[in-house]
Amino acid sequence: MRLKKINNYIINEVLCWVYHLSIAVMIALVLTSFVFQRTIVNKNSMLPTLKEGDNLIVEKLSKRFNNFSDGDIVTIYAPKYVKEGSNTIIKRIIATEGETIKIKNGKVYVNNKPVLEEYIMGNFTRATGDYINLKVSKNHVYVLGDNRESNILDSRIMGQIPVDSISGKAIIRIFPLKKVGIF
């Protein structure tokens, strides 16, 4: 009789653990599918803000509510332009729908006002590509990398980015540890 009680206790304990672990796994799957994801920066187009190997937490709720602002750092699904490795790029939103963007004499203007860009590498934005003077369409954004000293893939080459191509907004850097912080 005592052995049966011990066996029942062990079975109940195992079932309890399985139940709680299953709930934890389901919560983790929901959170990573719909709320947060970890992203690793794989290029240097966002220097000096981000460098290759930085680990970020990206929230996905802004996409669902089209809640983006100038200055947000976003991940963009761009398989048409990125062939090797990840199909995702990381850029900074410079202008949102309805705003005009112009790059002239190395400076970026939004609605004919110069943008104060203390975060960029260098002090000159190359006016390359076909998309350097336009009005941002509905449900689109205009993005640039922070590393303006090199020819990088951003809206100057790709044009306006549809909001539904945005995977999420970077909210915190979690690695390297000495650079942990909120954006």
- Catalogue the active-site residues: 45, 91
Asked, as a colleague might, if the bond just before 114 is cis with ω within 30 of 0, I would say no
* C-alpha closest to that of 165 among 97, 89, 98: 89
* C-alpha closest to that of 170 among 68, 44, 86, 59: 59
Count of beta carbons in the 10 Å neighbourhood of residue 135: 15
The DSSP 8-state label assigned to residue 136 in this structure reads P
